């Protein structure tokens, strides 16, 4: 089993708003096809965390295989939330978003 985590680095004070948009996106993805339900979490500075993880929003889900999003028949939602989220992303010192892949042990 794989744990896939999408990370967004957002502007100061915007983590909760961004997390709400990410939740909308996650719901659309799980409703559209084979993606499992996602867990959304964030730290906007109100909880202890490593300094470099402040103002991060995470969307994490599991998959049995890592497959191309461009595979035949895959449904990719066209969410309006993406453009709203993009306005909150902090790209000031490098990428504002990335994907991490983790292998789990059952």
Residue 4 has what pLDDT? 95
pTM score, whole prediction:
0.89
Task: List C-alpha distances in Å: 4 to 43, 48, 58, 80, 92.
Answer: 19, 24, 10, 23, 25
Please give the chain's pLDDT, 106 residues, in tens: 999 999 999 999 999 999 999 999 999 988 887 788 999 999 988 888 888 889 999 999 999 999 888 888 887 888 889 999 999 999 999 999 999 999 999 7
Q: What CATH number is given for 2-66+77-103 in this structure?
A: 3.30.70.100
Residue 90 has what pLDDT? 96
Domain residue limits, the chain: 2-66+77-103
Taking the CA of residue 73 as centre, how many other CA atoms within 13 Å lie in the half-sphere pointing to its CB?
3
């Amino acid at each position: 089993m794989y744990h896939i985590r999408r990370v967004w680095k957002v502007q100061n004070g915007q983590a909760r708003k961004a997390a709400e948009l990410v939740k909308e996106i996650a719901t659309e993805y799980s409703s559209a096809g084979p993606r499992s339900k996602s867990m959304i979490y964030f730290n906007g500075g109100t909880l202890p965390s490593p300094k470099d993880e402040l103002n991060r929003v995470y969307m994490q889900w599991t998959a049995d295989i890592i497959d191309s999003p461009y595979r035949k028949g895959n449904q990719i939602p066209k969410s309006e939330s993406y453009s709203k989220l993009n306005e909150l992303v902090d790209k000031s010192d490098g990428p504002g978003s990335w994907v991490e892949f983790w292998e789990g042990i059952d």
